Structure 1
Amino acid sequence: MSKHLKVTFQCYVLINCIFWALLLVMRLKRFLLRYYPPGIILEYEQGGQVKTKSIDLLDLASTDDALSIAQNLSLKEPLITQTRIPQVQKLVTKLQEKIGSTGDRQFYLFKVLRAHILPLTNVAFNKSGSCFITGSYDRTCKVWDTASGEELQTLEGHRNVVYAIAFNNPYGNKVATGSFDKTCKLWNAETGQCYFTYRGHTSEIVCLSFNPQSTVIATGSMDATTKLWDVQSGQELSTLSGHSGEIICLSFNTHGDQVLTGSFDNTVCLWDVHTGQQTNTLIGHRGEIANAHFNFDCSLIATASMDRSCKLWDVRTGHCIATLRGHEDEVFDIGFNYTGQQIVSASADATARIYDAGTQKTIAVLEGHESEVSKVSFNPQGTHVLSGSADKSARIWDVNTGECMQVLEGHTDEIFSCVYNYEGDTILTGSKDNTCRIWR
């Protein structure tokens, strides 16, 4: 064998060894679908551990060629081998069928739950929509079965109002509750067992969230701090100090490595979850922050303020891209659709507004409520907006025309919370009349 041929053969053997080693290191176990926003999640095994990675298809259209998309994904993602292309093509087709659904439907009252003996504070679904939770001034959180409306658990132990509540979605097996008693509690959603009581805040807890991996809970308090807690051990990980006013809202980005906090000091701060260090401060509002959210790809933040405006911010630079005007009174709520291309806001001027995130122009003004609008959200498909108002009603609006499609009536006091489930075929409305209503 010539020296050149010998070297070539050795290189061939080495390349093959590396190739098979990589295959052994990363082995695809299965595909999971994420409908809203559309994407494919790869579950794979590496070094004996099961891991996941997401392929986002935010621009997927129902008219796109599914085979071409699958082939392109195979070129970019080593875990998607040639033999997997037909399987990926079928998954893309299923996603296209799902996003092709407009979510058009009439909702009917399914059940009125006289959930608590005192007014409710918040309502929230688990990821599948099979269960939901309600918090209340009666110091409890309750877990409910969506299909039957039956109470499954009463989570008792707080000594004051249970104000902030959340499932650890997408898992849905744990519930976190934040209270005016200055503590947060972590519960088993199925048995009602309390795992931990997180202590350390010196004032009321008014907002909380799990990170997407369900390993960390963030709590925001009237003491102007946010704390990060370890879900597994119950230990405090860090205290995020820097605001000079009460923390009113917080949320993690999609990756879970950043958290934003909005405050009565008129600013929003960005924090590194791993270090607990402040990485940016969004300064520009002239009134208290009411709410703030990342878009899905974590490139933008939308903020709502008592200064009657909304703002759009670049996450990377912290610069304000645009001020979204039009409301004539305080803005209470704000949110993105799943693609991050549209924004909806709710105001004390009795209207909601839809903006284009790219052009920052108003798409539609949602007029019809007779009093302040406190909550708004897009349906999962992004075709409709749900709004809740102090006029005791919730309304469903067409995103493109701004037309009111349906009025959900029957509550006898203001609606403070309203949410869609993951599929967009069930709505919860929570009211100061001490009831929660399920609409289907």
Structure 2
Amino acid sequence: MKLKKFLLRYYPPGIILEYEQGGLLKQRTLDILNLQPTSDIDAIVDDLVRTEKLITPSKVEQVRKLVQRLQDKLAQTQDSTFYLFKVLRAHILPLTNVAFNKSGSSFITGSYDRTCKIWDTGSGEEIHTLEGHRNVVYAIAFNNPYGDKVLTGSFDKTAKLWSSESGKCFHTFRGHSSEIVCLNFDPKSTKVATGSMDTSAKIWDVETGVELCTLSGHTAEIISLSFNATGTHLITGSFDNTVMVWDVNTGKRVYTLVGHQAEISSAQFNFDCSLIATGSMDKTCKLWDFTRGCCIGTLRGHDDEVLDIAFDYTGQRLLTASADGTARCYNSTTHSLLSKMEGHEGEISKICFNPSGSRVLTASSDKTARLWDPETGEVKQVLEGHTDEIFSCAFNYEGNCIITGSKDNTCRIWR
């Protein structure tokens, strides 16, 4: 093996090694999830050198400088005020979803007008309109980190794979017997998964467009799905109150996570895939051990349905958003409540951390989005201007740009 170069990943902190083996160029990542602005860099570098043979003595100083850069990035405060940059009257009918590519240079919007549009974030100009679906485009995704493909799922029972660069449709995935409501790319962008109201999920090959397997077992619609970081497993959350863990290569069910008393609203892996979090209409969020498939904690406290959940990049903290108009931040190891975010006058349908984990963003039916301090629960900024409920919000990779999507048919860019 011959080391070719180092690449940095800021969120979460890590160093990617690009090396040659047997004439092939390969990569592997050294995660440094415990890195903090106050960490002892020498101790971290010593640990990396001890565990990674590709870091030879001549490369140690270079690695030290890279770890320093990662630490400096974490130390930068991301508490700036956001201002409205642009209002996009994106579609003639209501939007369904918005999503950034990894760099945040472009984003996509789905709509009831049966199209998905690709936008340039910097100028607010429309790049492409992806036309071809015969009903609502409900679920959308970029194949991050690459960003050269877009996946759309529709109420017309099909999903489509597109080039984000040319707008060309590569494949139409047919096979579901009801609306497609959730979808995702695997981390290597070689497979996609679709979840449907027909109670099944399907896995498809990106290159050929061929269906690889059907995941059957749920007794109600699948409304949430997510691959783990290696792409070996998929989780599906359903209105049958359960979450199922699947082996992607065999299509076989590994576990069924049983315990919620009402429909699942969201199911997510943490970054290292040791934990699965599930939010439910039963007003709780549960944490599960991925390896054993067992519940290790139930997070209670909301007075109404839990509508969305999100881990921070290390998986140490977990957010819950509820129809009771509040959000909460928990320690995912001790399950203790860290903060409660109160101030919205309507249900919170979407929640996320900024990339560094220093701020929380919420979208609400009260027509506002809000920024919060996750440690104290204090509201830092209210993003106002939409004239109808905000159902989607997202940060770009740097954390210095926000998009909000509303039922007022507009998308707003905040910088």
Query: Normalising by structure 1, what TM-score?
Result: 0.93
Native 8 Å contact 1:101 1:381 kept in 2: no
Matched with 2:193 is: 218
Taking the aligned partners of 1:195 and 1:160, their CA distance within structure 2 comes to 19
Find the residue that maps to 2:48 and give its secondary structure.
helix
For 1:296 and 1:138, the matched residues in 2 are separated by 35
1:9-408 maps to which residues of 2 (within 5 A)? Answer: 26-408=1-383
Q: Distance in 2 between matches of 1:132 and 1:143?
A: 6
Cα distance in 2 for partners of 1:395, 1:64 equals 31
Letter in 1 for 2:218: H
Deviations 1:372-426 (A, max 9, x none): 1100001111111100000000000001110000000000000000001111100
Do the aligned partners of 1:304 and 1:332 also contact (CA within 8 Å) in 2? yes
Aligned to 1:422: 397
Greater Cα offset, 42-51 or 149-158: 42-51
More helix by share: 1
**Cα distance in 2 between the residues matched to 1:269 and 1:40:** 32
Output the CA distance in 2 between the equivalents of 1:263 and 1:42: 38
**Percent same amino acid among aligned pairs?**
67
- Kindly provide the CA deviation profile for residues 144-194 of structure 1, in whole angstroms up to 9, marking residues without a partner as x: 000000000000000000011001000000000000001110000010000
Distance 2:371 2:39 in 1: 29
Q: Which has the larger radius of gyration?
A: 1
Counterpart of 2:273 in 1: which secondary structure? coil
How far apart are residue 295 of structure 1 and its match? 0.5
**AA paired with 1:390?**
S
C-alpha offsets along residues 338-384 of structure 1, whole Å, 9 cap, x if unaligned? 11111101111010111111111111110000011100001111111
Quick one: distance in 1 between partners of 2:47 and 2:378? 39
Q: 1:43 corresponds to which letter in structure 2?
A: E
C-alpha displacement of 1:66: 2.6
CA RMSD of aligned residues (A): 0.8
Stretch of structure 1 that moved more, 26-35 or 291-300: 26-35
* Helix, strand or coil at the partner of 1:85: helix
SS of corresponding position for 1:400: coil
The answer for the alignment partner of 1:14 in structure 2 is none
SS at match of 1:149: coil
Shift of 1:308: 0.7
Bigger drift between 78-87 and 130-139 goes to: 78-87
- Distance in 2, matches of 1:85 and 1:64, equals 18
Task: Quote the Cα distance in structure 2 between the aligned partners of 1:60 and 1:180.
Answer: 44
**Hey, what's the Cα distance between the residues in 2 that align with 1:48 and 1:223?**
46
Deviation of 1:318 after TM superposition, in Å, equals: 1.1
Displacement after TM superposition at 1:103 (Å): 1.0
Match of 1:21 in 2: none
Tell me the secondary structure at the aligned position of residue 254 of structure 2: strand
2:274 and 2:108 map into 1 onto residues whose CA distance is 31
Q: Deviations over 1:6-40 (max 9, x none)?
A: xxxxxxxxxxxxxxxxxxxx221211111111011
Q: Which amino acid aligns with 1:272?
A: D
Structure 2 portions without partners, runs of 5+: none
Equivalent residue for 2:410?
435
User: Which residues of structure 1 form unaligned runs of 5+?
Assistant: 1-25
Counterparts of 1:71 and 1:370, CA distance in 2: 51
CA contact (8 A) 1:292 1:302 kept: yes
Aligned partner letter, 1:386: L
Query: Which of structure 1's runs of 4+ aligned residues deviate more than 6 A?
Result: none
Measured in 2, the distance between the counterparts of 1:66 and 1:357 equals: 26
Report Cα offsets for 1:82-136 as digits up to 9, x if no partner: 1111111111011001111231110000000000000000000001110000000
Cα offset for 1:309?
0.7
Please state how far the C-alpha of 1:71 moved relative to its aligned partner.
3.2
Task: Output the amino acid matched with 1:117.
Answer: I
Equivalent residue letter for 1:383? S
Q: How many residues align?
A: 415
Give the AA of the match of 2:92: I
| Cα deviation digits, residues 39-90 of structure 1 (max 9, x gap) | 1111112222221111110001222233442233122111111111111111
